[in-house]
Amino acid sequence: MYKEFGPDDEIIQNYATIYRKNDEPATVLPKDGDLPDFVRERCDWIMKAVTDSDASMSFIGMLRCIFAQNNEQEMKDDFEMAGLDWLPVSIRFREWSSMLFMDTLHQMRVAAYLIYGEAAKAQRERNERVSEYASRLRAVSSKLPAEMLLDLKSRLGDWSLSGGYMGSEYVLQLVVNAERYAAQHG
């Protein structure tokens, strides 16, 4: 199930999933989890429960729900009273979160995922949108006249230099116009 590590190696690996070195000394960059799927599932469940409902919950409250070890029934009752679905704590999660000497590190990893995981997901979605638009432009570029390609290059360059997001509605409109032109004249 898990790769075997010596105690020191496992601690180092857990710290490495929370912090990673940057070129600058003493700079710590949060990483998007590298958590087992069953842990990520529990984190994503609580984020969804909080964001999709009118319920409000503190960050500490979210952590308590995720790590509901000793009071799971009480937490479940509170969730159901608020009209929310409870995700039972799995045996795998229970074992992972209560590993001797690792429990605190695992809590830190979950906290980092809650803070940065959603942002990282949103960034991945933004990157996918940019890649999609670029692919769509590449697919029709051979059917466009040179003047139109130069105009697109200029517009996209200006947009990017001005701080515009390459997955924006503006860029989408440029892509759609290029596709229309290619369909009509290609």
Residues 150-154: what's their mean pLDDT? 93
181 vs 26, more confident: 181
Residue 138 pLDDT: 92
On whether both 100 and 167 belong to a single domain, the answer is no
Is 33 in contact with 109 (CB distance < 8 Å)?
yes
99 vs 51, more confident: 99
Angle between helices 103-141 and 37-51 (to 10 degrees): 80
Is residue 2 included in any domain, yes or no?
no
Residues 105-119: what's their mean pLDDT? 80
Angle at 117 between CA 31 and CA 122, to 5 degrees: 115
- Alpha-carbon gap, residue 143 to 138, rounded angstroms: 10
On whether both 153 and 117 belong to a single domain, the answer is no
User: Is the pTM for the entire model greater than 0.75?
Assistant: no
Q: Closest Cα to residue 110, out of 170, 164, 67?
A: 67
- Provide the b/e sequence for 96-111 (b: ≥16 CB within 10 Å): bbeeeebeebbeebbb
Domain count across the chain: 2
* Residue 35, domain extent: 7-124
Is 86 in contact with 80 (CB distance < 8 Å)?
yes
Is residue 130 included in any domain, yes or no?
no
On whether both 151 and 113 belong to a single domain, the answer is no
Boundary residue ending a domain (124, 157, 173): 124
Residue 82 pLDDT: 81
Q: What residues form DSSP beta bridges with 19? A: 30
Neighbours of 185 (CB within 10 A): 10
Residue 168 pLDDT level (bands cut at 50, 70, 90): confident
Average pLDDT over the chain reads 80
On whether both 118 and 166 belong to a single domain, the answer is no
On whether both 29 and 105 belong to a single domain, the answer is yes
On whether both 113 and 165 belong to a single domain, the answer is no
Q: What is the pLDDT of residues 1-25, one digit of tens each?
A: 444 445 556 666 655 555 554 444 4
